[in-house]
Each structure stands twice: as structure tokens, then as C-alpha cells.
Amino acid sequence: MGHRRLLFLLGILAVNYLLFQSILVPYGSGNAPWSSVPQKYDKVRFPSLHSTPKYFTVWSPPMASVSGFSNSSAFIATVEKMPSPIVQFEVGNGKKMGKHNDENGDLVSERNIYNADVFEHGTDKNDARSLSEKKDVGRKGDRLDLESVGSENFYAILAKGSDVNFSGKQFSKTKRGASWSVNDNNIDSREYDSVRVHTSHSLTSSTNVTSLENSAQKVVFSASNNSTAMITPRRKMRCMMPPKTRTLIQEMNHILVRRRASARAMRPRWSSKRDLEILAARLEIEHAPIVTEDKELYAPLFRNISMFKRSYELMERMLKVYIYKDGDKPIFHQPILKGLYASEGWFMKLMEENKHFVVKDPSKAHLFYLPFSARMLEHSLYVRNSHNRTNLRQFLKEYTDKISAKYRHFNRTGGADHFLVACHDWAPYETRHHMEYCIKALCNADVTQGFKIGRDVSLPEAYVRSVRDPQRDLGGKPPHQRPILAFYAGNMHGYLRPILLKHWKDKDPDMKIYGPMPHGVASKMNYIHHMKNSKYCICPKGYEVNSPRVVEAIFYECVPVIISDNFVPPFFEVLNWDAFSIILAEKDIPNLKQILLSVSQEKYLKLQLGVRKAQKHFFWHVKPLKYDLFHMTLHSIWYNRVFQIKLR
């Protein structure tokens, strides 16, 4: 009897043990004794109740036939704990979005905050980084990297070069979910925003994942404790979605008036003679003699030509700028003079060569210039495809800390009398926090990205094709010889341009709205020909709010039609853009032709005249001329400082 009781108790213990293990398996807490997983994976790491390890081992019912585990009822993977669900889909060999080349094809730049081959969940890009940054992705054989969102769900990513092989060419159509196929190299991930695929034990024989052994694509899918895998709709990048808030041009005007009335600059820690000089200049500007006509300036272009003229005269007479010598090339003191981001380079070159405004004694300076190139910062330090720009921001933070420790001027005002000029799209991110109070002259003048109207300066994005002759091909046909009502051609960057083409491409002979034009000289000449022969040139936003088409339109005497909510037009503090452009809300795209036709011939002629008169303010010259782009940029920096000044 004693032996029977002992055997009975042992049997009960064995059954309880097996039931306990069966319960733990789907949740990743242990290995079942009947598992056929290779021995090298038998060791299981359990998370402590009092700690949150970055990785631990899990088990899950099969989602597809996996090489090496084809006879197994489970497969093993690595899980990283995440604060919220993240779905990513990365295309490595497909088209890269957000890239721009200069004419020589070198110095390729990604215009977007992160490459368009990673789609984020949420607004914090640092938390939505691609797993391609992890050292073990795609390098450790039969391994799937997973991102966990808790105990019930996780997301799996198949890495490039992995020995894990999924059979089959596509998910087959089932009643439980939509089908999804993967091309080898040329996926446009935007086509798969709403795809959902469900698989379970009953579907694994007919539902398989494409083999990705020879491609750089990363497929992201999810699984849960009910043995169902699903590809959920992913959140797109910020630049691929409409903004959450919209500030139109009318509201920007109100903001400028409010901020002129109440300065927001930090009060200096100790007084300076230069502050008193700036305050005296402000009083003179506010009480400037009335100017109605001027031989050099076209009055309708300006908000207040009297104040502008007096301010410009005072700038020429009294402004002194100190340029920090710290910093090594190529990020500092090495301007880029050609291509999309040339504006920051031209200003750097002309500022450092200038002998009228620049002083060697910082105690005599009203303003301090931080001479770095955001373009060269990206080119020198950004790790391609890392989707991580924190090292760029850290570099500028260390530079600012060095300036603050070595000189006393930055600490006096918190940087309020310091300025930077940057045309690369990442500059708002790179200069955040540590240069927060500096005056920022930015091409990416987006009010949703920290641009402060009344303090910061919207820098024109001028695409320079010839360093020796920046004004090459200047001009266009007279107003009565422009047969095309409206013209646009360009890449489908961002969310807005596809909407423009959806409504107007091949829809109306008067509206010449195209996608990307072919590469080559003939194509460039055709593009220029269209601008020179169009009444209106459409300037929609791309990945970011700014576009070089605004300056191009002025260059070719075509009235720019700016369609970009939250974009602050260049030199907004002094120029009246209603005199030489049309600014529309993005929601007005369906009515674009009707709006343009509603402009009377008399009004159009005034706009076109305004464009011709505005040209001089948007040109770079090898030797700066009065009222040109160099002087307009410096003046706006000076002007905003004058109206932000605070005394001790």
C-alpha cells in the first residue's frame, strides 16, 4: 500500500508539473520538456519580479514554418520591453525618401527628421528609432528580434542576413484577414498602411511569410497569447502626416504684433553699453521719419518702409558683430556655396569676409555669430541609416558649453544676443534647448517645431546652381506672354504634394501639375522654361514646410503660390508678402484654379511687378550689394534683436 501511495503522489506531482509548464509556455516563462528546440536554446532566462531587464527569452506558438524549427511547436526570440506599442516597417533597398543631392551628386542629405523607411508611433522620434541600430540585428543566425509591449503582446522583426527562413511567397487570402505580398527590393511602404494579416494554428499551413534571406527589408508583425499574429496599421512619420495644429498667415501677423509689444528675451545678468545703444536705435526706428517713396525700395513690399529704411541705416552705421574663432573645419568656417542648402554657406562666407560689421574685440559687439554649418554637421557626423541624430545635437551642446566656459558673453544673456544661420532641415532639432534663446535664422521656419515669430528669422532657401554666377538664367517672360495659368513639378515628398496631384494632375490644360521630372540638363531647362512661361508657380510644402520653389519663382518672375500651413515666409518681420505672392491654406487645394482665376488682371499685374521688385532682396552676390540677401538676412537678425532687447 505504501508503494502505491508513493507512486500515486508522484503521478499527481508529475501531472501538476506538466500542467504548470503548459500554462507558462505561451507567456515566455519556461521551456516545455517535450520541446524539440535545439539544445543551444534550452537555457531560459527569467525576469526578476523586482527588475526590468532589457531582454529576456520567450516562447510563442508558431506563426509560420521556420527553418530549424519546422517540427517545433514553438520558436524562441529576444524581447525588449517598450513603454507603448510600436509598429515599424523598414525598406532597405527600396527608394529612400527625404534625400537631396547637389548638382555633383555628392553630399547627399536626408531632408526628413528620420528617413522615411522607418514609420513611428507617437511624436518622440528618439523612442521610435529603428532596430537597425542594435548591434545584434541580422548578425546572429537563427534569431528574431522582438519588441515587447508587455506580457500579452510583442512585435517581431526579421533581420537582414538571418538564417531564419519563412517559406512561401506571400500571405494567402483568408476569410480572417487581407492578403499581403512583398516584392523583393522595391516596396513603397506607403501602400501598406491599412494591411492586417491574421494567422493561427489552423492557418499556418496556408499562411506563410515571404522569404527575406537576400533582401534588406524588415517585416514587422505582432503576436499575442491567443496565438494570433497580426500586422497592424502603422503610424507614419510626422512629415508624412498633416500637422496637429495649423497657424495660418493671418494668425502669424497677430503673433508678430503681440511679440513686438512684449519682448521675451532673457534679462541680461549684467548691464552693457551695447544694450543702451540698441535701445536708442529702437527709439529712433519707432519714431522714423515718414517715407512714402524711395528710389531704391518699392514701398508696397514692406510692412512699414519708414521703419525698415531707418533700421537699415542704423544697422549700417552702428552694428558690430563678433565671430567666434572656435571650432574646426569642416563643420565650422567651411561654407557650402552650391546646392539646396547654399544659403547658410553664402552667409557664412560673406560674414567672415566682411570688414565693415565684424570686430575682433567682443566687448564692442552687439551680436555674436556662431559660424557652424548644419549641412556639414549632418554630412560629417550623421551615421547613415542610423535614424539617430542625438550625436549631432550633443556636438552642438558641447560647443555651446565650451563657448560659455571660455567667454562671458553667452552667459550674460543666455544667448539672446547670439545668432546662427542654418538651412538644413534638422537645424531646429539640433539647436533645441542649448541654443534655445539664440536668434535662429532658419530655412525650416516651422512654428510647430519651435520657430519663434518676432525673434527667429525665416531664411530664404535659395538653390544655387552656379557659384560664379548665382543669377544665371534670371528673369522670365512678360506678364502678357505667360500662357500657363499654374505650374508645378517635383518629387512626391510629404503628404501634401500627392493631394495636389490627385486634384490637378492631367485634370485641366491650364494647370500644368506634374510629378518628378526626368533627370538631365534637358529636363532642367524644361522646368525653367515652364516657370518662365507661367503666371503662377505652385510652391507646396514637401517633407518640411519650406521649399526652394519660393525663391525660384521670384527668380523667374513667376508669382509664387505658397501652400504650407505653419510656414513663416522669409523676412516676415519686414516684408509684406501680400504684395508679391498668394498664400493659401492647404485645405484650399481643391479650389486652386477657381482662386487663381478670381484674381483680377489688375491685381495680377501688381503681384508680378512686386515679384520683379522683390528680386533684389533674394539674390546672393560674390560681393554683397545693398539690400541683397546677405544684408536682408543680417538686417532681420539685427531688427529682431532690437525689438527683443531688455535692460538689466
> pLDDT confidence of 9, banded at 50, 70, 90?
confident
Q: Is 388 exposed, middle or buried (0-12, 13-18, 19+ CB in 10 A)?
A: middle
Interatomic CA distance for residues 554 and 335, integer angstroms = 24
User: Which triple of cell numbers denotes residue 583?
Assistant: 498664400
C-alpha gyration radius of the chain: 30
Interatomic CA distance for residues 74 and 38, integer angstroms = 11
Write out pLDDT tens, residues 116-148: 333 233 333 333 333 333 333 333 333 333 333
Arithmetic mean of pLDDT over the chain: 75
374-381 and 342-353 helices, crossing angle to 10°: 120
Write out pLDDT tens, residues 75-100: 333 334 334 333 333 333 333 344 44
Q: What are phi and psi of 372, to 5 degrees?
A: -115, 160
Among 615, 589, 606, 617, CA closest to 486: 589
pLDDT at 45 over 90: no
Interatomic CA distance for residues 615 and 613, integer angstroms = 6
Interatomic CA distance for residues 323 and 348, integer angstroms = 10
Write out pLDDT tens, residues 531-578: 999 999 999 999 999 999 999 999 999 999 999 999 999 999 999 999
Write out pLDDT tens, residues 242-282: 898 999 999 999 999 999 887 777 788 888 999 999 999 99
- Give the per-residue pLDDT at 241: 87
pLDDT at 423 over 80: yes
Q: Is 246 exposed, middle or buried (0-12, 13-18, 19+ CB in 10 A)?
A: middle
Pick the more confident residue, 10 or 587.
587
- Give the per-residue pLDDT at 231: 52
Say if pTM beats, i.e. exceeds, 0.85.
Answer: no
- Give the per-residue pLDDT at 512: 97
Q: Are 371 and 453 in contact (CB under 8 A)?
A: no
Pick the more confident residue, 51 or 595.
595
- Of 72-86, 350-364, 621-635, where does mean pLDDT reach its minimum? 72-86
Interatomic CA distance for residues 199 and 172, integer angstroms = 10
